[in-house]
Structure 1
């Protein structure tokens, strides 16, 4: 693993993967299986062939007076793609090039996309903090070097989280990415780090009764 790639995953590897002998692990494993199944269904792509799409473009600073996801979603990408909110549907996916999410570390940039129904962002690379925030907030952030070159807006794609494959079902093109480790999938399946930690604590309390 090169140094740059390691930096992208610094926060994730700080967590201890759940033991397969732990009740909480089995419960989270079921969440993960449902997530994998869900994310192998078809999703429509919104493609932006640009590097350095920053957090101000994802959600403008003028809209940061709320943390309500639905309210933020109304302004998602409005400076980059003014018609985005009229086109996006729940389950859709964004595809971009290098350094997606650079700029401010605001989590509003995650909440706006999540509120709009976006289930994953695929980019050649992500800004380090944005990548961490995505996982912590239960939004898939997948690094795939050539996705933006082989997928067009409106194409239907399938993501297989287990095998690390992205299939453009419109063209038949298949791309590869490095699959998430299981414990990262558990965090995403729990819809974020805080929910994951709460579930772990709740499960341990049940075991100790």
Structure 2
């Protein structure tokens, strides 16, 4: 199974310094993944998880994912978020997104190019992006092939299964948000 590395969807725009405590509050860590996912970004935008749809894209500013190594990517996966795009990612958060198979793209200045509700297309293999609502577009350096391969596999664990380091028959199970969350140490 290959994960699509070109995504098109409705965007949600958030600001700078969105930290993992805002995305995955401490009280959510005591809950099972489906319930914890309903609390994503609650402190920043209450009710957002009731509005987000499968295939939507989250755009954020600088320092996206600053903070502890909480398995936020698995929560976004559970909600059906297709990709994360930011002016700048915290490196640990970016790695966790890749490991969980959640496409993530760094696009400096992206928050100025989109508004909530716009439709956007982001192609990680080509390094291109476009605001389909306004026509504004651009390009960024392409991620290394290894990172793209991990994302295309659905995360690091499914990639290891595809390569024979883990049982191949587990590859689909290893793509689940619950497994990704457990692999990142949430206890979920």
TM-score by length of 1: 0.74
Are 2:143 and 1:180 aligned? yes
Residue 22 of structure 1 is matched in structure 2 by: none
Pick closer, same or farther for the CA change 1:150–1:115 going to 2, 3 Å.
same
Residue 36 of structure 2 is matched in structure 1 by: 72
Following TM superposition, by how much is the alpha carbon of 1:71 offset from its aligned partner in structure 2, in angstroms? 2.3
Could you say which structure has the larger radius of gyration? 1
Contact 1:76-1:116 within 8 A present in 2 as well? no
Residue 4 (structure 2) aligned to one of 35, 42, 54: 35
Residue 158 of structure 2 is matched in structure 1 by: 195
Are 2:16 and 1:51 aligned? yes
Tell me the distance in 2 between the aligned counterparts of 1:61 and 1:112. 14
Tell me the distance in 1 between the aligned counterparts of 2:157 and 2:166. 14
Residue 58 of structure 2 is matched in structure 1 by: 94
Residue 58 of structure 2 aligns to a residue whose secondary structure is strand
Contact 1:135-1:141 within 8 A present in 2 as well? yes
Deviations 1:53-87 (A, max 9, x none): 0001111111102452x222211111111121121
Contact 1:63-1:75 within 8 A present in 2 as well? yes
Contact 1:72-1:115 within 8 A present in 2 as well? no
Are 2:115 and 1:152 aligned? yes
What stretches of structure 2 of length at least 5 have no aligned partner?
Answer: 169-188
Following TM superposition, by how much is the alpha carbon of 1:119 offset from its aligned partner in structure 2, in angstroms? 1.6
Tell me the distance in 2 between the aligned counterparts of 1:103 and 1:161. 25
Following TM superposition, by how much is the alpha carbon of 1:173 offset from its aligned partner in structure 2, in angstroms? 0.2
Residue 19 of structure 1 is matched in structure 2 by: none
Tell me the distance in 2 between the aligned counterparts of 1:123 and 1:87. 20
Contact 1:122-1:143 within 8 A present in 2 as well? yes
Are 2:81 and 1:81 aligned? no
Q: How many aligned positions are there?
A: 168
Tell me the distance in 2 between the aligned counterparts of 1:194 and 1:204. 10
Residue 168 of structure 1 is matched in structure 2 by: 131
Tell me the distance in 2 between the aligned counterparts of 1:152 and 1:143. 17
Residue 129 of structure 1 aligns to a residue whose secondary structure is helix
